[in-house]
Amino acid sequence: MESVGSFGIIVGIAARFWPVWIALALLLAGVVRYKRKLGLLGHLFDSLIGIGGVLICAFWLFTAIFAHWIAPLDPRVQVSVMKNALPGAIDPETGMVFLLGGDQLARDVFSRVIYGARIVLTIAPAATLIALLVGITLGLPAGYFGRGVDHVLSFLANLVLAFPVILLFYLLVTPGIMETAIPYVMAGVLFLFPIIFFCTLFYTRYKERPEKLYIYLAVTLVVGFWIYAGLVFNADPLGIISIEPNELNIFVAVVFASSPGVFRIVRGLAMDIKTRDYVSAAQTRGEHPWYIMLWEMLPNARGPLIVDTCLRIGYTTILLGTLGFFGLGMGPESPDWGTAIKDGSQVAQLRLYFWEGLTPALALMSLVLGLNLLADSMREQSLKD
């Protein structure tokens, strides 16, 4: 089979990423131009670690957004001649280059990695965000009120944290469990927290100004329950938001596994901030406890929380990879990185056709590395202030 050679591969890959390069150039130009006004994002560009983190994260973000332009083939298309083809091999029929070779089912490895980015970068941040809201909604009262609430919630959080992640996944993400109501009940409970959070947020702030309160509450409830219906009952009236049952299962498992971690951090922060003077001042003014928690304490906990969220997205990416690696949840055809790593890591596969497993592995590693670098430089920045 003809090949374009290693130089051809590098040039070919660089050329396929053209939308990403344009987007990155625009981002960089914007940052250089408005560095002063950007605050934290501008400061990130002061250190090499920060620049590296932002660039890697932005690279994968843009790749996920423009996946359909970058990837030459659909991730599920099989071209039987190209089975286990070497990187750079040329399809004799169409003349198309398989830049990173073909896998054992004769699919284009490059296209699969690109589309995998889309799956990972939708589920991981979304799951982390929901886990964050669950953790905040439960962690703030636990830290603020202490005593009974704290004991019960901390005990529950420690229960989940003492559970080995891998066993949790094997129990929660199996085909059998989708026949039962458990994933839907868990989704129903977990996805309720964001709605509760935003309703409380607006209510405590605007309860004296009903004209504003009603607008905010109405928007929250409509949007909230629209997404809720789409995710939990798969019954979005407009049909925009829908999720496969197995993806919902993964989503719920990942949220469930990472919420207690957020809870612990928020609880610790709340216990620390509770002793500050401005909290006593608000208490003396007679503010409602939830107002104090959400509008006085939460904004002051944002620094560590942002850093933690960044790290947590990386950790969630690793969890998703673990799920795929054990063949849990994701369909066998799914182009996500974990599944691809699993397929590529069988002994024979790894010995002879190592690029099939190595490519998604490097992709996953670089994304997590980017997120960790970003978190690290943000931590440095927040320590400076």
Residues at the contact surface with other proteins, assessed by CB under 8 A:
49, 155, 158-159, 162-167, 170-172, 175-177, 179-180, 182, 314, 318, 321-322, 325-326, 338, 341-342, 344-345, 347, 350-352, 354, 357-358, 361-362, 364-365, 368-369, 371-373, 376
Q: Which is nearer to other proteins, 19 or 303 (CB)?
A: 303
Q: Which is nearer to other proteins, 111 or 317 (CB)?
A: 317
- Minimum distance of other proteins from residue 353's CB (angstroms): 9
What sections of 274-354 are H helices per DSSP? 277-285, 289-291, 302-325, 337-344, 347-352
- Minimum distance of other proteins from residue 47's CB (angstroms): 10
- Minimum distance of other proteins from residue 358's CB (angstroms): 5
Q: Which is nearer to other proteins, 80 or 180 (CB)?
A: 180
Q: How far apart are CA 87 and CA 374, in angstroms?
A: 32
- Minimum distance of other proteins from residue 165's CB (angstroms): 5
Is the distance from CB of 261 to CB of 192 less than 8 angstroms? no
| CA gyration radius, the chain | 23
SS3 172: helix
Is the distance from CB of 139 to CB of 131 less than 8 angstroms? no
Q: Which is nearer to other proteins, 204 or 259 (CB)?
A: 259
61-69: long-range pairs with CB below 8 Å, 24+:
61/121, 62/19, 62/20, 62/23, 62/24, 63/17, 63/20, 63/114, 63/117, 64/117, 64/118, 64/120, 64/121, 64/122, 65/23, 66/19, 66/20, 66/23, 67/114, 67/115, 67/117, 67/118, 69/19
Using the structure block, give the residue that is written with the tokens 């002063």. 36
- Minimum distance of other proteins from residue 193's CB (angstroms): 21
SS3 98: strand
Q: Which is nearer to other proteins, 158 or 280 (CB)?
A: 158
SS3 108: strand
- Minimum distance of other proteins from residue 205's CB (angstroms): 37
Outline where DSSP puts E strands in the chain. Answer: 89-90, 97-98
Is the distance from CB of 217 to CB of 203 less than 8 angstroms? yes
Q: Which is nearer to other proteins, 25 or 350 (CB)?
A: 350
- Minimum distance of other proteins from residue 228's CB (angstroms): 25
Q: Which is nearer to other proteins, 159 or 223 (CB)?
A: 159
Count of residues in the chain: 385
